[in-house]
Chains A and B, each alone.
Chain A
Amino acid sequence: MTDPVLRLEGIVKTFPGVRALDGVSLSVMPGEVHALMGENGAGKSTLMKVLGGIHQPNEGRILMDEKPVVMAGPLEAKAKGIVFIHQELSLAEELTVAENIYLGELPKKSFGRVDWATLFSKTDAILKKLNVGFGAKTRVGSLSIANQQMVEIARALTVDAKAVIFDEPTASLTDAEKVVLFDVISDLQKSGVGIVYISHRMEEIFKITDRITVLRDGQYQGTVETRETDEEKVTQMMIGRKLDLSRNASHHELGDVALEVRGLSCGKLYDDISFDIRRGEVVGFYGLVGAGRTEIAETLFGLRDPSKGKILLDGEEVRLNSPSDAIARGISLVPEDRKGQGLVLGMNCRDNMTLPQVDDLKAGPFVAEGAEVAIFDLYRDKLDIRTPGWKQKVGNLSGGNQQKIVIGKWLSMKPSVLIVDEPTRGIDVGSKSEIHKLLRELAAQGYAVMVISSEMPEVLHVSDRIVAMYSGRIMRTFTSEEVTEDSLIQAISGIGGDKAA
């Protein structure tokens, strides 16, 4: 038996308040395509950051060819033959394809001149292998996102790679481009390179991988031979405990329709979306990243202009041109990107929480700080936010507490429609179930709640109804009684969408 090219052994990585990786092991054989699977927040990206030297593990070791190595940084990882193909593009748009592929390693002639002949001939060879429709001299900024992704992939072919990590490489590729990518992967495979393939897409996993390792909540769930397993078993490993898959059973008394959307479209982002949410109801939106759910939420919050369709609040058609319009109409949005969109990290807890209503909390010309503190105290107790005090900068809190500040911020607006986008992304299990409980309670109090999530247990847990989306369209709407994991997965993968709502 050959030795693995790359082996991770008992990796533990903790962040303040979170045990992101808890004894994870993974071994990649030469010529193997090894899938790494898990839900968002399961620890896949943290594991890869440990491998890439961006994070140092608290425990455990990394071995290459059975020799322990320490990854001090991305450069060292690359020097050791570990190549990352990132999901987010890291390209210099103004430079040519060739320069991007050989970024940092441009071939030199005397006096530091670039050896263009060598550069272009090497690049052309790689591009030929990839069978792409652009040349070495093309400016990267002028390429489509998919072609930019191919440039990123081409980087893996420049060095003598021992292991190549693909992180969701097909997220922006067309089917034809995927075929090319899979050819590249099998070429790498044949030359004895070990490949780690991170993806959510089951059909790809079963098509190209040899083994599958599954993580859940930072824990190693096991490694299986792809041939000997099926989607259901893998899904089970990913989602975990049966308990988690329990559906929401209790329904609250439903009130009037609070929000109704009719035939809403926005360019290429989503098309012909219709649904309604009643008071007392939680509607979950489930789908893959990029299915258009967040964009719908942003439209409802006045951040995008729809190209077609109507939005009705309490039966009355409204135009929402800005978030302040939406807020005035009683819509609140807990955004997807907590740090980028939800919070001003350098501001204290209280100020963050009262930010949307700071104009209304006035004592004379000044902000009524007493009223602000009262609001903060109320939601700190309600949501059990753990912070030394309101003066604490939000940036110093844990992810779960930060998220609760954002939720508190919007609850304190007393909205009639509450939209939450990925409410538990990147926060620990304890806080997760608290937030789930909270969402149910809010519905019980008569809020209309729209929950966008990429985590199946979460959607199943909190929703009265589930809307499944695939590439900008609603495929099907389930009630919590009729939904099954299988049918849900099928709907969001674009299979079996004929029963569209």
Chain B
Amino acid sequence: MATLTKQKIGSVLAKQGILVAFALFIIAFTFANPKFLSVDNLFSVIRSSAILGIMALGVTFVVISGNLDLSVGSMMSFSTIVVLDLHDKIGPFLAIPAMFAMTLCLGAFIGFLVGYLKLNSLIVTLGMLSAIHGLTLTYSGGKNMDIADKEGTWFSVFGQGTALGIPVPILIFLGLAAVLGLVLARTPFGRKVYAVGGNGTAATFSGIRRARTVFLCYVMSSACVAVAGLIQASRSLGSQNTVGQGLELEVLAAVILGGASLMGGSGTIFKTVIGVLILGFIQNGLLLLGLQFYVQFVVTWVIIILAVWLDIAAKRGKLWSPIA
């Protein structure tokens, strides 16, 4: 009986482990520094996580469909640079839709390669990481991009504005999370994403168009990247052309931390948001404790491995792997 309850606690821990860890973190940090749980600080954490978080929302779709996307970082640099450049050339009203169109084209191209041509997503998006980076450099001529008139544009509203006292990036992030959460959890498309990632063959045998579903996931991901790029551009009104470099792996870390399996078929938008916030809170909390920013890297490392390990340990019912 004792073992039974122990097992139960174990399985609850494993299932909701990430939430438990999240709660523990917040409690610990709050004890260490009461400022941690203040509204201002919460806002600051979410705002600084917003760009990463928005990209993570899109990547969640891709990962649940059983694929990877390593190209989101360089794609974000691309959309940031493009929208900044076009802002001065054709004005923000046209620049924003033009940038979205271009970014969605990139996503559609990846979706075509992975979905319809059934190519390995890791390699395709690795190639696209490099190719889009090149595209961005070519586009910008290797220079940083700045808006000429930084004071006189309303374009800064996406990154710097507030509405109802809440910073706009937070509103966009949480709003998008709510919408995409509903799409994933409640719409036929979302259901198909889970089916394709859970068992692609069975999904095909159920009449689901697997290629189209995967394609749409990548398009969705690129749309999120475009939004992230928009916020990034609007926040600083100028940017280096490597602004998104390395973000792809942080994004993936957040998604995995949220409990999505790289095998596909599991994960939720809510959990991804938690994953993003955990990364944000670790960063923030360690800084408040007076620790250097790089300590968060090490802490994140440990947390990612522990989180995934406990998750699969619970599934196989054994802590250690049976590999001989």
Contacts and interface: CB of A to CB of B under 8 A. Distances in A.
Find out whether A and B make contact in their complex, taking CB atoms under 8 A apart as touching: yes
Interface of A: 301, 303, 322-324, 326-327, 333, 335, 340-347, 351, 355-356, 358-359, 361-362, 365-367, 369, 409
A157 B242 CA distance: 61
A323 to B, nearest CB: 4
Given A359-B188, A366-B186, A367-B187, A345 B209 contact: no
Interface of B: 182, 186-188, 191-192, 194-195, 198-199, 201-209, 265-266
B118 to A, nearest CB: 15
Nearest to A341: B205
A346 B265 contact: yes
A333 B188 contact: no
Nearest to B211: A322
Contacts of A362: 188
Nearest to B261: A346
A355 B191 CA distance: 8
B199 to A, nearest CB: 4
Given A344-B203, A346-B266, A355 B198 contact: no
A481 to B, nearest CB: 35
A350 B191 CA distance: 12
Given A340-B199, A345-B198, A358 B191 contact: yes
Nearest to A343: B202
A49 B182 CA distance: 46
Contacts of B205: 301, 303, 323, 333, 335, 341-342
Contacts, number: 71
A340 B188 CA distance: 22
B202 A340 contact: yes
Contacts of B194: 344, 347, 351
Best-buried of B195, B199, B207 by chain A (most CB within 10 Å): B207
Contacts of A340: 199, 201-202
A301 B205 CA distance: 8
B188 A367 contact: yes
Contacts of A361: 188
30 contacts: A301-B205, A303-B205, A322-B207, A322-B209, A323-B206, A323-B207, A324-B207, A324-B209, A326-B207, A327-B207, A335-B205, A340-B202, A342-B205, A344-B199, A344-B203, A346-B198, A346-B199, A351-B194, A351-B195, A355-B191, A355-B195, A358-B188, A358-B191, A359-B188, A361-B188, A362-B188, A366-B186, A366-B187, A367-B186, A367-B188
Given A324-B209, A327-B207, A366-B187, A341 B182 contact: no
A345 B188 CA distance: 18
B27 to A, nearest CB: 31
Query: Which 9 pairs from chain A and chain B are nearest by CB?
Result: A344-B198, A327-B207, A366-B186, A324-B207, A355-B206, A323-B207, A344-B199, A358-B188, A341-B205
A347 B187 contact: no
Contacts of B204: 303, 323
Given A323-B204, A366-B182, A367-B187, A358 B192 contact: yes
A344 B188 contact: no
A359 B188 CA distance: 6
A347 B266 CA distance: 9
Contacts of B195: 344, 347, 351, 355
A389 B206 CA distance: 22
Given A351-B191, A367-B188, A367-B191, A344 B207 contact: no
A365 B190 CA distance: 11
Contacts of A323: 204-207
B178 to A, nearest CB: 14
Nearest to A335: B205
A21 B86 CA distance: 73
A326 B208 CA distance: 12
Best-buried of A327, A343, A358 by chain B (most CB within 10 Å): A358
Contacts of B202: 340-344
Nearest to B205: A341
Contacts of B209: 322, 324
A341 B201 contact: yes
Contacts of A342: 202, 205
